[in-house]
Structure 1
């Protein structure tokens, strides 16, 4: 099953209870926005936050950014109302927190189906607990079923650090094995996977370094806590000029008449196979999509 590419280089959290942040959201250059009803909203502000979101989506019926609403867990006292409010807003996706089993996804899918929610409303899953990491493979398998609606994993590094007693200092050395485990499971399920936040938004160098690390690890983008991080994330997760030029050279070479039926060719002193052609075509399609956006 082939899913259309959507750029998710920069994914900004916006508290639904913050009127100033909501007012600014539509003008930002982030690829995606997570309107947060969960951690960023105090218990006594949940109802007002839902109403603020309803008003926002009524006033902004279209957006260049992908729009996701993070709800509270259905097991909480706010989850059911959050889900109904999110469904009514018709976002691109609903983000489920602390997903630990496939049933956490399928239970929401069933509710959306029962309430005739549009198929365009997808689901994203937060992987942020030890149990969620251990079950990431089973959860990611839902990405192979179109009826499950699952499109993306979002990693909650702060919660993982809290639950395991590991710190986030030292370039996340102790978290890296778990991050790679989640990433591998996501890719097996044909899901995008978004790296966790960098907490110090005043540390531009540190943020850029962590973005570069995330790119090398294979993440599709990074979650952000402040608009000042958008440009750096968009730049980090966009192919560099050398990679684009190499991709163009590979595509052009394979489309020469003498190479059209070959499985491998010599190019620039290297052996290049058709799997490299597929990778190059995907990269150029990504560049074109982002360029149009």
Structure 2
């Protein structure tokens, strides 16, 4: 059983994941451009964005790009094809030894899918730092979210993050992705609760209307308010809004520092609740504040 993480150890491991941009692995120019984009996470895609006849070329190009590096502070994640497809085993064999920051496994529906993927990573001499991320995009994943999250308790599974696959979920459930995503709210929140219960990050699904900036901003704000760490993106034009919305504002950081400083005063160290600017704050608000400050500091280090 994995040991529970302390607040201080969790804060040391924080990485901003405000924006996670899908890049098709079959497009060599896109892979090169990725090194210059202001994305927190680059998801080099071998699955949905790549036609069957281009799978082998995409695998070769992505493996070479990961080996070459040069992505700076960006987190590099490769979405492979599932192990139950004709391309999955070859994807794991080629990509895992290259050592991306994470392998993103599609259509995870049970803890067994996590264990199988982790075993494949172990068999391909994957560097220990490479984590496993899970696409949550099937009806079974929605029903099994809590069980899938329990896989994080075993360090051998490397599980670190859930990624919502709302387009696939819409296809499989026949629910419509309308403004406000009313049909999807229970599933989004179930996956978020499962992620947080097991110490995982979770990234919201994509917004398909690239030219609708107002709609995109509204959905980013919804995801932020729900508690997501960031949003998956399908076009570089969406980066600026996602990075803005999922970053703490200057006012939030200032208030977080004020709460932390208030409880750090010698006369307040034994107190559980205090007043600040006419509002009651508790020690849990200091914990929240420390994470807010840590995220803001991590973002500032990205340059």
TM-score, normalization by structure 2:
0.94
Match of 1:287 among 293, 296, 301: 296
Q: Which residue of 2 aligns with 1:228?
A: 237
- Which stretch shows the higher mean deviation, 221-230 or 101-110? 101-110
How far 1:208 sits from its partner (Å)? 0.5
How far 1:177 sits from its partner (Å)? 1.2
Unmatched tracts of structure 2, length 5 or more: none
Cα separation, 2, equivalents of 1:274 and 1:57: 43
Cα separation, 2, equivalents of 1:98 and 1:58: 26
Cα RMSD for the two superposed structures = 1.2
How far 1:35 sits from its partner (Å)? 0.3
Alignment partner of 1:110 is 2:119: yes
Q: Which residue of 2 aligns with 1:219?
A: 228
Q: Which residue of 2 aligns with 1:271?
A: 280
Cα separation, 2, equivalents of 1:87 and 1:72: 13
Unmatched tracts of structure 1, length 5 or more: none
Q: Which residue of 2 aligns with 1:203?
A: 212
Q: Which residue of 1 aligns with 2:46?
A: 37
Deviations 1:142-163 (A, max 9, x none): 2233221000000010011111
Alignment partner of 1:5 is 2:14: yes
Deviations 1:94-137 (A, max 9, x none): 00000001010111212222333221010000010100110110
Q: Which residue of 2 aligns with 1:146?
A: 155
Alignment partner of 1:247 is 2:256: yes
Alignment partner of 1:176 is 2:185: yes
Q: Which segments of structure 1 move beyond 6 Å, counting only runs of 4 or more?
A: none
Deviations 1:168-205 (A, max 9, x none): 11321111111111111111111111000000111111
Q: Which residue of 2 aligns with 1:64?
A: 73
TM-score, normalization by structure 1:
0.97
Q: Is the partner of 2:36 in helix, strand or coil?
A: coil
Contact 2:97 2:125 in 1 (8 A): no
Cα separation, 1, equivalents of 2:186 and 2:124: 40
Cα separation, 2, equivalents of 1:56 and 1:114: 22
Alignment partner of 1:135 is 2:135: no
Contact 1:53 1:89 in 2 (8 A): no
How far 1:62 sits from its partner (Å)? 5.1
How far 1:279 sits from its partner (Å)? 0.7
Q: How does 1:74-85 map to 2 (within 5 A)?
A: 74-85=83-94
- Which stretch shows the higher mean deviation, 223-232 or 238-247? 238-247
For these two proteins, the number of residue pairs brought into alignment is: 293
How far 1:271 sits from its partner (Å)? 2.1
Contact 2:35 2:70 in 1 (8 A): no
- Which stretch shows the higher mean deviation, 281-290 or 107-116? 107-116
Q: Is the partner of 2:57 in helix, strand or coil?
A: helix
Structure 1 pair 276/192, CA: closer, same or farther in 2 (3 Å)? same
- Which stretch shows the higher mean deviation, 252-261 or 31-40? 252-261
